[in-house]
Amino acid sequence: MSIALSSAAAPAQASARPFEPAPLLIAFAVFALAAFSPAVLNDGDSWTHVTTGEWILAHGAIPRVDPFSFTFAGQPWTAHEWLAEVLMALAYRAAGWSAVALLTGAAAAAAAFVMARRAARDLSGVALLALVALAALLVAPSLLARPHILALPLVALWADALFAAREADRAPPIAFAALMALWANLHGGFAFGLALIAPFALEAALAAAPEARVRTLYDWGLFALASVVAAALTPFGVEGLLFPIKLLGLAHLGEIGEWRPENFAHPGPMELALLALIAFALLRPTRLPWLRVALLVGLIHMALQHGRHQTLLAMLAPMLLAPAVRPALGQTAPRALTPASHATILAAAAFALVLAGARLALPIARHDSASSPIAAVAAVPPALRAEPALNGYGFGGYLIGAGIRPFIDGRADMYGDAFLDLYGKIAAGDRQALDDALTRWRIAWTIFPPSEPIVAVIDREPGWRRLYADKFAVVQVREDAPGAEGLREGN
């Protein structure tokens, strides 16, 4: 891929063309994938989010301290995703996990539509489908019932507005900054949206005539300031603005599944996307303005560093690449998009209702999984459930959903590096750390995946025995724990 030395210039005059169905097709494919794929509920934190939303609805307030764990009970907690959690809880109340899956699918589909619609200004047919399909594949591993997916349409809308502002050679309207208030209450990814203003503002300033640069920077700076003010309109104010920085500063962040760096040991969507990009750039003369190359490289770096950021790459890469792919395929000018007809809109709405109806007609029943040890927890007597438990990190969300106070769960930002470091030693079977934890917190029972080293260590611990075991979880109990009396008799 060669790099143009100029900043992005205003596009040539757009010409009208027939309605492009690809964005709708991609959106429906993503919606169906989220609605009917069991993988969308594979993350244990979904239980935490729904339970947090229920807590907010029940108390009419947003928690400022931890109401769930026993290790950090009453300690400060920034529930920065509170609005997304309320939406998830409302969906759950309406139709259980089926509605949560539909909500997730609707958000992902809306984001895919906005992204594909922007790319469709330059591409059509097979080229458009190939580009946005690769982007959809990048989203697939993170397509989970989590707040970051509910905020994904705002990522796409925000990026689309910045691209539109550059095409119109102006700053985005100040009123559009209000979108940042919604984003900041849904998910901490709003910080990326704020940071994204800078490269577009710099590009606008470099493209402006020398006498207009100060005014250009002023207009973009005013929009940036309005966006920061809007992002502070959360229950947490400045604390909420600083939260993403705090999260990214965790030393143990890269050890958490969704934040781990890309692993190329096995083929995956990220490898496929990068290879496709390299192959196309070598086969076709592809040019991008240098600032946009820098933005794309930065997005790729983020996606390689943390798997979660692949969704950001998926939303922006097609918008960045489509104008470069267009001339490489022999097309000379972007084309205005013809709006969908009323018949098309009605047909799309009807099809969406059919998909939703099919999902609701087949309610999702949760079964044992790597993040939901349902049978294992059911085997624990009610009296013992009320006692302190030492649990696997991935099981914390399910325990919260089951009304059991966990030792740890997916809220790594609240627990902090020191506690995560201690937990890592415990889970690895460090005898000193384990013995100290069992004594300090008076642990009565444990629940871990069978592969965790701690399971074998507790098996050899005097006064402990296995209560239950399957391929997902092992429950071990201290024989003199309150509520374990009957277990000593072999019950």
pLDDT (tens digit per residue) in 346-381: 888 898 999 999 999 999 999 999 999 999 999 999
pLDDT bracket for residue 17 (50, 70, 90): low
Tell whether 363 is covered by a domain: no
- Please give the tally of structural domains in the chain: 2
Inter-residue contact 53 to 85 (CB < 8 Å): yes
| Confidence bin at 4 (pLDDT 50/70/90) | very low
Tell me which residue range forms the domain holding 324.
2-356
- Range name among 10-24, 58-72, 143-157, 428-442 with the lowest pLDDT average: 10-24
Q: Are strands 474-478 and 464-469 parallel, antiparallel or unpaired?
A: antiparallel
pLDDT at 247: 85
Name the amino acid, one letter, at 437.
A
pLDDT at 490: 43
CB neighbour burial string for 105-133, b if at least 16 within 10 angstroms, e if fewer? bbbbbbbbbbbbbbbbbbbbeebbbebbb
The answer to whether residue 485 scores a pLDDT higher than 90 is no
Question: Looking at the structure, do residues 53 and 122 belong to the same domain, yes or no?
Answer: yes
The encoded tokens of residue 432 equal 């000193």
Task: Select the more confidently predicted residue: 258 or 457.
Answer: 457
Q: List residues bridging with 335 in a β-sheet.
A: 15
Kindly state the percentage of the chain with pLDDT values over 90: 77
Nearest Cα to Cα of residue 303 among 141, 80, 153: 141
Residues 429, 337, single domain; the answer is no
Mean pLDDT of all residues belonging to the chain: 91
Of the candidate ranges 273-287, 367-381, 467-481, the one whose mean pLDDT is the lowest: 273-287
Same domain membership, residue 393 and residue 337: no
For residue 141, give the H/E element and its range: none
Looking at the structure, do residues 443 and 335 belong to the same domain, yes or no? Answer: no
One domain for residues 385 and 285: no
Q: What is the mean pLDDT of residues 2-23?
A: 55
* Res. 11: pLDDT tops 60: no
Identify the bridge partners of residue 17 per DSSP, sorted by sequence position.
337
- In whole angstroms, give the CA distance from residue 73 to residue 56: 17
Distance (Å, whole) CA 106 – CA 151? 11
Tokens for 232, please give them: 């502070």
Does position 208 have pLDDT exceeding 60, yes or no? yes
Of the three residues 293, 323, 356, the one that is the final residue of a domain is 356
Of 270, 279, 251, 357, whose CA–CA distance to 31 is shortest? Answer: 357
β-strand partners of 65: 76
Say whether pLDDT at 273 is over 60: yes
Contact at 8 Å (CB) between 171 and 220? yes
Q: What's the pLDDT band for 331 if we cut at 50, 70, 90? A: confident
More confident: 49 or 259: 49
8 pLDDT higher than 80: no
Residue 16's pLDDT is 53
396, 320: one domain: no
- Supply the pLDDT for residue 486: 66
Task: Determine the pLDDT at residue 18.
Answer: 67
In this predicted structure, what is the pLDDT of residue 81? 96
Q: Are residues 382 and 278 in the same domain?
A: no
At 124 the three-state DSSP class reads coil
Sequence-distant (≥ 6) Cβ neighbours of residue 404 within 8 angstroms: 377, 385, 389
Contacting residues for 445 by C-beta, under 8 A, at least 6 apart: 380, 384, 387, 389, 390, 467, 475, 476, 477, 478, 481, 484
Same domain, 123 and 183: yes
Residue scoring higher pLDDT (380 or 18): 380
Q: Are residues 126 and 252 in the same domain?
A: yes
Q: Is residue 9 part of a domain?
A: yes
List, for residues 68-115, the tens digit of each pLDDT value. 999 999 999 999 999 999 999 999 999 999 999 999 999 999 999 999
In whole angstroms, give the CA distance from residue 305 to residue 440. 36
pLDDT higher than 70, residue 10: no
pLDDT > 70? residue 393 = yes
- pLDDT at residue 153, rounded to an integer: 97
- Is 413 in the same domain as 276? no
Does residue 396 register a pLDDT over 80?
yes
Residue 81 lies in a domain: yes
Which tens digit of pLDDT belongs to each residue from 292-318? 999 999 999 999 998 889 999 999 999
Q: Which two tokens stand for residue 80?
A: 């920065």
Is residue 222 situated within a structural domain?
yes
Query: What pLDDT is recorded for position 334?
Result: 64
Task: Classify residue 333: in a domain, yes or no.
Answer: yes
- The mean pLDDT of 273-293, rounded to a whole number, is 91
Q: What is the CA radius of gyration of the chain?
A: 25
Give me the residues paired with residue 288 across strands: 3
List % helix, strand, coil for the chain (3-state, nearest 5): 65, 5, 30
Across the strands, what pairs with 445?
Answer: 389, 477
Q: What is the DSSP string of 31-78?
A: HHHHHH-GGGG--THHHHHHHHHHHHHHHTS--SB-SS-SSSTTSB--
pLDDT for 468 beyond 60: yes
Write the CATH number for 473: 3.40.190
Confirm whether 364 is domain-assigned: no
Identity at 386, one-letter amino acid code: A
End-to-end CA distance of the chain: 68
Tokens 């049978």 belong to 375
φ, ψ of residue 449 to 5 degrees: the values are -60, 145
Bridge partners of residue 469, in order along the sequence: 474
Are 339 and 392 members of one domain? no
Least confident piece of the model among 171-185, 349-363, 399-413, 477-491? 477-491
Average pLDDT of span 197-223: 96
Q: Quick one: 80 and 220 in the same domain?
A: yes
Chain centroid to Cα 371, Å, comes to 17
The Cα 401–Cα 344 span in angstroms is 41
Paired residues of 336 in beta bridges: 16
d(Cα 163, Cα 190) in Å, to the nearest integer? 17
Bigger pLDDT: 45 vs 9: 45
C-alpha 172/C-alpha 47 separation (Å) is 38
Nearest 5 degrees, angle CA 86-CA 247-CA 222?
80
The residue among 51, 46, 57, 61 whose CA lies nearest residue 100 is 46
Q: Is 148 among the domain residues?
A: yes
d(Cα 370, Cα 372) in Å, to the nearest integer? 6
Q: Edge-to-edge strands of the sheet including 474-478?
A: 389-391, 445-448, 474-478, 464-469
**Quick check: 15 pLDDT over 90?**
no
DSSP 248: H
Sign of CA dihedral 229, 234, 238, 240: negative
366 falls within a domain: no
* pTM for the structure as a whole: 0.91
User: Is residue 109 within 8 Å of 150, Cβ to Cβ?
Assistant: no
pLDDT category, 285, cuts 50, 70, 90?
confident
| Joined tokens for residue 336 | 């205005």
